[in-house]
Amino acid sequence: MRRCVWGSTVVLALFATLVPTGSAHAAPGARAEPLPLERLFDNTAVSHDARPGEADFDGSGGSLSAQDLSAAGWTPGRTLTVQGARLTWPKRQPGRPDNVLADGQNVRVRGRGDALAFLVAGTGGLGAGGTGTVSYADGTRTSYSLTAPDWRTGPLATKAVALPHINTPSGQLAERARLYVVTVPLAPGRAVASVRLPRAAGLHVFAVAVRAAARGWTGSWSAATGGYPAVGPWSDRTLRLVVHTSAGGPRVRLRFDNTFAAAPVRIGSATVAVQEAGAAAREKPVAVSFRGAKGVEIPAGAQAYSDPLGFEVPADTNLLVSFHLPGTVPAAPVHRLAQQRSYVSGPGDHTADGSAAPYGTVLTSWPLLTGVDVGGGPGSVVLLGDSITDGDKSTVDANRRWPNVLATRLLNQSVVPRYGVLNQGISGNRVVSDRYPGDGVSTDTAGVSALQRLDRDVLAQTSVRTVVVFEGVNDVRWGTTAEQVLAGLRWIADRGHARGLRMLAATILPCEGEARCTAAVDAERVKVNQWIRSGAAGFDGVLDFDAVVRDPGRPSRMLPAYDSGDHLHPGDAGLAALAESVDLRGLVR
């Protein structure tokens, strides 16, 4: 199996192969009638802990624990949303066939969307993959490549869920079993009729679905999950998070992610309001629902969207998103560097309380909440970055991150669409190596690499049209070569292009004076920038942020007027200069 090696990170061919391998063409003659996937199940992956011999997932007697799956919230017949796709865990009891060994089966799949999502795992020690075909209702077909990482050795950074045990006939092993959701692009606008699976030894498919496009929605705010640290613990507490919109609209929906988790989390109720000041709402908070219910349980690794709510969301405004956690939450998926004060209440459900009185504790991170979408609008620009995009060293509570300034510029013009701006920066993040390993409770919240989080944090974001990639300084500061960074950037550009996105790259800022920014590091930074400017990285355009903030008399350092003082991060003036330098016409695909 092919591997692409960048620095200390080994990126399995899962990522390199999820691109279209053929264009649409007329379908040939008669083919086997497609059947629902569950009618094709021919392998048993799940066993009861007391009867491990009833399943043989890998051909050697190994299997998944039904009890572990249940503890993670992955119960038979349950529909889980992962990366924006709704996938149903097989409605089969332990010891019954529950997945398909991919061997060219023709599967009935219906729907229109931007991607096919597969719930998969490989067996055999390495990833398993091959090429399949999508057939559309209009008689055309496209081919796709699909690779599933191995259930025992695949990367934890990209797994949908990891289970703590593996069942075997000779006893239970304390070894993590992994399941993955992998997406492949679809022909835009065409209705899918069926999917032919690859012929690939060891490729197991549990579910497949079309990920519906987010028609009628624009992403207005987002935050990327950087880790799974200990919190609180919170028990019977209400969190009131303050988030700043970019685009506005007449409807709203919220997205909560239980990324990296090992257990479900329950949200008892949730509301939205416009902020008056601090934790106080301008008007009484309005309740949201989840498929008609007041609250929702989110399985490990899954996400939940609230139902559409008629609520006028102002552009460029702070919202209060409040949610009650009725159970005990000792750890949670978190975006650590909010640069914004949020709040935690005393005991009880205070989601409907418009006053600040119950909210006595300040919170400086954004747990669980990952997105606010608004009705209508032209779509979104996603900014994939590190601490500079995250807003490190910008003024707290002032929304002076460069993505905020860019969003205001878009709102105040009429030359290009007034896109929403989604900030997917994570402080400390790198292009090609993971800071957080992607599993377990960790004190490091700098995230998995841009390569590993691209599907979740970019491709699955609401109505994404254009992507700006602004990373690399942390890579070169910690010894990654320019060649390795460039390889990672090329891969990101290719993946975005396969989804029909406009892909832009920003050059890396100078940082002389910061402890790790040696002359050797600067030489690598300059190489990366030269390749970006030359087009070697494969992007559609360049934002030359290096040229905006560097000192002309000493190009290896930032102009003092733009330097926050640590020589690595621009201050408010420097961040504004970055945003003001963007040619808005270049954002349009």
Q: Return the C-alpha torsion angle 139, 142, 147, 148, nearest 10.
A: -30
Report how far apart, in Å, the C-alpha atoms of 219 and of each of 129, 322, 418, 461, 478 are. 33, 19, 12, 7, 33
225 Cβ contact list (under 8 Å, min separation 6): 257, 259, 260, 333, 334, 335, 370, 447
The whole-chain average pLDDT of the chain stands at 94
Residue 115 predicted with pLDDT over 50: yes
Strand partners for 460: none
pLDDT above 90 as % of the chain:
93
> Do residues 272 and 314 lie in contact, with contact meaning Cβ atoms separated by under 8 Å?
no
Per-residue tokens: 209: 């679905």
39 Cβ contact list (under 8 Å, min separation 6): none
SS3 assignment, position 54: helix
194-212 residue pLDDT tens: 999 999 999 999 999 999 9
DSSP letter, residue 534: H
d(CA 45, CA 204): 9
Strand order in the sheet with 177-185: 100-103, 199-211, 115-122, 177-185, 161-163
Residue 580 predicted with pLDDT over 60: yes
Q: 137 pLDDT band (50/70/90 cuts)?
A: very high
SS3 assignment, position 101: strand
Averaged pLDDT, 477-503: 97
pTM of the complete model: 0.94
Q: Of 562, 463, 400, nearest to 255 (Cα)?
A: 463
HSE of 533 in the Cβ direction (CA atoms, 13 Å)?
12
400-453 residue pLDDT tens: 999 999 999 999 999 999 999 999 999 999 999 999 999 999 999 999 999 999
Domain coordinates in residue numbering, the chain:
3-211, 228-369, 378-589
Superfamily of domain 378-589: SGNH hydrolase (3.40.50.1110)
Averaged pLDDT, 372-383: 98
> What is the reported pLDDT for 9?
36
- How large is the angle between the packed helices 402-411 and 572-581, nearest 10 degrees? 40
> What is the reported pLDDT for 31?
56
SS3 assignment, position 156: helix
SS3 assignment, position 234: strand
Pairing of strands 550-551, 303-305: unpaired
d(CA 340, CA 562): 21
Residue 551 predicted with pLDDT over 60: yes
d(CA 88, CA 364): 35
